[in-house]
């Protein structure tokens, strides 16, 4: 039944937390219809507010997309974090877990991922950059770990991290773009990790 503040199905003048409602709806639309089809007015209609209301929370369509990208990086960071927490001690297993987590996040949130690395965000969108670095930083940490354990070659840690990150990122892009069958994802991830570990292990002297 309608709450006290919502008599006869009427929404009170103030929504309460429009911002998060918009973000939620936007995330769903993003997943279901892609970023191109995401319309501010559509969201407003769905939520039941006037089409100009969202403007109070997102100055721009781009601002909304930026916010989505930011939360995307936060989510990705979380996924990586738990994947690493659940992993055992074996470095290979840790890498595999992290990469696999990334791959699944990326393929289950294709449109979001595209948004995240489209780099179209506002010049001053430091929040996105921060969130991205927080997520990416875990990969770098992981590499550092491998280097300290003597399983990975020394040298520019970030560069090695970029290569690992890029490889997974590329695989998911191909899957998301339909160039590669989605069923091959796990198999590819596994092969990529193995290649990586072999390619980046210390040279025998």
Partner DNA sequence: ACATCATTGTTTCCAATGGCTACATTCGAG
Partner DNA sequence: CTCGAATGTAGCCATTGGAAACAATGATGT
Q: Which residues bind DNA (CB under 7 A)?
A: 12-16, 18, 38-42, 44, 49-53, 55-57, 59-62
Both structure tokens of 186: 């796990």
Candidates 41-49, 88-96, 139-147, 193-201 — which segment interacts with a copy of itself by CB under 8 A? 193-201
CA distance 161 to 164: 5
CA distance 14 to 4: 14
105 lies in the binding site for a copy of itself (CB under 8 A): no
- Give the position of tokens 């695989």: 171
180, 188 contact by CB (below 8 A)? yes
How far CA 194 is from CA of 22, 38, 62, 97, 205, in Å, comes to: 42, 39, 39, 12, 22
C-beta of 49 vs 98, nearer to a copy of itself: 98
Question: Per-residue x/- mask for a copy of itself, residues 142 to 171, rule CB under 8 A?
Answer: -----------------xx-xx-xxxxxxx
204 binds, among DNA, a copy of itself, none (CB under 5 to 8 A by kind): none
Q: Considering only residues 48, 50, 177, 182, which one is a binding residue for a copy of itself as defined by CB under 8 A?
A: 177
197 lies in the binding site for a copy of itself (CB under 8 A): yes
Residue 68's closest CA among 33, 35, 106? 35
114 lies in the binding site for a copy of itself (CB under 8 A): yes
- Give the position of tokens 């770990």: 145
SS3 content of the chain, % helix, strand, coil (to 5): 70, 0, 30
* Cβ 38 to DNA shortest distance, Å: 7
Binding residues for a copy of itself (CB under 8 A): 34, 36, 114, 117-120, 132, 136, 159-160, 162-163, 165-171, 173-174, 176-180, 184, 187-188, 191-192, 194-200
């Amino acid at each position: 039944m309608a709450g006290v503040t919502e008599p006869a199905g009427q929404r009170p003048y103030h929504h309460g937390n429009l911002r998060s409602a918009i973000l939620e709806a936007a995330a769903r639309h993003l997943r279901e219809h892609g970023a191109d089809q995401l319309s501010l007015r559509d969201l407003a209609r769905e939520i039941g507010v006037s089409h100009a209301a969202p403007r109070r929370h997102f100055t721009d369509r781009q601002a909304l997309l930026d916010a989505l990208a930011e939360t995307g990086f936060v989510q990705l960071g979380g996924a990586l974090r738990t994947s690493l927490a659940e992993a055992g001690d074996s470095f290979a297993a840790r890498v595999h877990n992290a990469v696999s987590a990334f791959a699944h996040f990326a393929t289950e949130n294709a449109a979001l991922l595209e948004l995240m690395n489209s780099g179209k965000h506002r010049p001053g969108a430091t929040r996105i950059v921060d969130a991205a670095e927080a997520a990416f930083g875990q990969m770098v940490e992981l590499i550092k770990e491998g280097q300290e354990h003597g399983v990975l070659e020394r040298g520019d840690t970030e560069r090695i991290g970029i290569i690992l990150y890029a490889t997974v990122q590329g695989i998911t892009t191909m899957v998301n773009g339909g160039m590669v069958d989605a069923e091959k994802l796990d198999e590819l991830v596994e092969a990529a990790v193995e290649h990586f570990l072999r390619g980046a292990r210390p040279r025998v002297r």
